[in-house]
Amino acid sequence: MKSRQLGNSGLEVSALGFGCMGLSFPNAPTKEESIKLLRSAVENGITFFDTAQGYGENELLVGEALEPLRKEVVIATKFGFKDGDGRLGLDSSPKNIKAVAEASLKRLRTDVIDLFYQHRFDPSVPIEDVAGAVKDLVQEGKVKHFGMCEVNANTIRMAHAILPVAAIQSEYSMFYRDPENEIIPTLDELEIGFVPFSPLGKGFLTGTINADVELAKTDARNMSPRFSKENREANQALVDLVVSIATDKNATPAQIALGWLLAQKPYIVPIPGTSKLHRLQENIGGTDILLSNDELNKINITLANIKIVGERYPVQMRDTAEKK
């Protein structure tokens, strides 16, 4: 697989990463199956793995799976919640950042964190203090690069002035294009990498979830207004577009969604997650999708005429998820 640079940080990763969070969700594979899947990802060329303190036992799983392959991979993890639990609120105090780093190093079975993200902006802690704490960890050799998730342009600029930001992680796909307004121009200017999560629109862009599909009661998408039956029906025009392009390109809808993202900027590295080997291999095929300028222009013109209906998060989660 081809590699990409996350901005001008010098951090080189595979063009596609692996979002590990789902391997710690209800109905996830067994630990043994998950370890096998993560190692298969490396065998198939993926070198970039994303986890977080806030993903339950996920760091332990990633640490065990990748320990024998540690020199071949880049591991990103995150800090920013009290006791690693988003339900308990935010905590990006310098003391907590450093405590999380020490604990994550142990769980990940490594002596350095390649990319350490602030999981969510904490309005109670000046971003300069957050960047300063991570800078201390960089100087101590415990962290290589600093990242931030779901922040606005002004916050990025303030943090970047203290410690260069290697990457910003936010949701971005054909299903959610808000980063194009202010985030991507800022990343262009400051030469910062972009790591989109949910690049397949939480599965919507795969073409397998229409209004008639009944989501399991344990499915986290039930909490998202975007995935109500009515909104899935309203947003079907987007899926129809992706399916149509996939048919023309002899590809799957998921591969088109990933190929479109990769075509937007050379510093974009999506991190789709999956629990199935055949989906992993399908996603990897998205790195081979080549869309011409004409094709991209046609897609973007069509996208501009499709209004996406439904918020990403329920009201009670919106402040934590989106407040900048």
Cα separation, 287 vs 191, whole angstroms: 22
- The upper half-sphere exposure of residue 165, i.e. CA atoms within 13 Å in the direction of its Cβ, equals 33
Contact 257, 201 (CB under 8 A): yes
> 264: which 2 tokens?
């937007």
Measure Cα distances from 8 to 130, 297, 311 in Å.
21, 28, 33
| In 221-276, alpha helices (H) | 229-234, 236-249, 253-264
Catalytic residue list: 55
Cα separation, 119 vs 81, whole angstroms: 8
- Sign of the Cα pseudo-torsion (84, 318, 75, 144, in order): negative
> 78: which 2 tokens?
């995150």
Strand ranges inside 172-257, DSSP E: 193-197
Cα separation, 25 vs 305, whole angstroms: 35
The residue whose two tokens read 């095929």 is 285
